[in-house]
Amino acid sequence: MAELTNLRVLTPSKKKLSPGDVFSMQLPDDRYLFGRVILVDLPRESAPMPGANLIYVYDVVSDGMEPGELSPDRLLLPPI
């Protein structure tokens, strides 16, 4: 049985992550949340597991795939 989530699966990018990349998450109401890749492949001593990435998730919600302004003062979650 598939696990339930309140985010819809979007087609993942096939390119390698880079700092500054913006990504989107689709909500059940067809609106979008956005995030940004801050650091990739963090060193083991700075991360919970090898190959971890630092991302920001913003409180910016949009009806389309284009985010508004994504600034650190608009974080939905602390850096994860």
Can you tell me the distance from the alpha carbon of 71 to that of 40, in angstroms, rounded to the nearest whole number? 19
* Local confidence pLDDT in tens for the 80 residues of the chain: 566 677 877 887 888 999 999 999 999 899 999 999 999 999 888 888 888 999 999 999 999 988 888 998 999 987 76
DSSP state of 66: -
pTM: 0.80
